[in-house]
Structures are given as structure tokens and as C-alpha cells.
Amino acid sequence: MKRVKRGWMNLRVTKVVSETHDTNTFELVDADDGGRSFDYDAGQYLTFRFDELSDKPLVRSYTLSSSPNQGDFCAFTVKRVESGSISNWLCDNVKVGSILRARGPIGKFCWEPGSERTHLFMVAGGSGVTPFASIMREYAGLCGAPGAPGQMTLLVSYRTSKDLILWDDLQKINAAKNCRVFTTLSREDMTGSGFLYGRIDQEMLLQLIGGAQNQMTFMTCGPTEIMDLTVATCRAAGVPEPCIRTESFY
């Protein structure tokens, strides 16, 4: 049975990782009970409450970029958004020792053993990579085992090589058996270093799918245009609706 902690939790920041020039990852433990006092599925999110930043409490949800198998903590990753009051406040003010209030975990944007196709194909843009880093880290090394995908593929788009969110994790995942991570840069040509170049488009998607769509479950997260393109491409290729799943926090 999963451990659940009801109501708002006080979570203490134990580590802050600078992922890029505008993105931080925050590792958290339970400030009252210690460690991680709840269980979660890779791909779920926490809802955070900020009581002192305005006249009324502000609430934001952030996907957990950590995986349950990592240890007795959880983590979420925040990219600054232009005019984003909470994302900028988190990146500017939250330090080791800071206390954040949150509740959860929540969400069904997860791998569901027994009801998915063998090959999990994920498409992301920018910070939309966070649920997929969580899912892939959880199952890397387990592909083909009961309860795990047989194969995982991620296509993720960043603007430039300075915007590679969770890059160290993705490189490790790419080295695992039956896991592939393809990265395209939309504003910088680094094809000589193993990157794809340009925005994700139908041609790029179909090339990586390679005609194997009947074996795949598709999940996509990120900017609306990337999700819409992925959904339209899958539908045109005959992928049934239950095998196309989206998650939007843009």
C-alpha cells in the first residue's frame, strides 16, 4: 500500500542544482517527519502553495523530475518564465533550508503497467522533459522486465546547447539498454556533436517512429505546438486515441 500524507506538507529544501542559466532543480524532504513521507509514481506532480507573495495565496503545480527509486527525497525542476512571478521567485529566493508547502502527489501522466503498448515514445519541449526524465530514470535498466516498458524513446527539443535541462540524467539514460534519447536544438546547429537541428516537425517524428507506431504508446509534454503536432502526427498514422497522451503545464 502506498504511503500517503494528507493535507499540506512542509518540505525542506536540501539541495539546489543549477541545471542551466534559467533552470533550477530543488531536492526536498519532509520538514516534520524527515525523508520522503509519501510514495509517488514517476510522472506525477506536487501542488505548491505560496501564502506570503500576494494578498491571496498563490498555487502552482510542478512535476516531480525525480524518480521514486532514487532515494528518500523528491525533486522538482523550475524554468524561469518571462513575467512568471512564482518561477522567478523560486529561482531567486529558494535556498538550502527553505521550507515550501505542498500537497500531493497528483496526476495520471504515468506509465501504466499492463495497459500500455510495448514501446513508450515520448516527445517533449524545454521543461516539458521533466516527467519523462522521471519516467525514464525509473525504468532505465528494467526495460523488458515485468511492469516496465520493453523499450523507451525520447525526442526532446531545446533552443540551444545552453538550455539542456536535466542533461546529465538524459545522457546516462541514453546509455541504458533499450533506451534512446534524441535531442534537437531549434536555434543552434550542432549536428556534428550528435544533436538534431531544427524544430520538431512531422518529418522528424515519422523518421524516428520508423513505421513502428502500432507497437508504441505516445506521451507528449511541452509547448502547445509540439503537443498538437505530436497528436496530429499520431492520429494521421492511425494510432488509437488511448495510446496518445498529453500533459500541459505551459
- Containing 197, the helix (H) or strand (E) segment is strand 196-197
For residues 226-249, average pLDDT: 94
Contacts of 23 (CB under 8 A, 6+ apart): 77, 78, 79, 80, 91, 127, 163, 165
Residue in 67, 62, 105 with CA at minimum distance from that of residue 87: 62
Query: Taking the model in full, what pTM does it have?
Result: 0.94
Instruction: Please give the grid coordinates belonging to residue 242.
Output: 488511448
All structural domains of the chain: 9-106 (2.40.30.10), 119-247 (3.40.50.80)
For residues 7-16, average pLDDT: 97
Total Cβ atoms within 10 A of residue 49: 13
Instruction: Please give the grid coordinates belonging to residue 224.
Output: 502547445
Residue in 60, 39, 180 with CA at minimum distance from that of residue 120: 180
Mean pLDDT (the chain) is: 95
* Strand pairing report for 196-197 and 179-185: parallel
10 touches 101 (CB < 8 A): yes
Q: Is the pLDDT of residue 250 over 60?
A: no
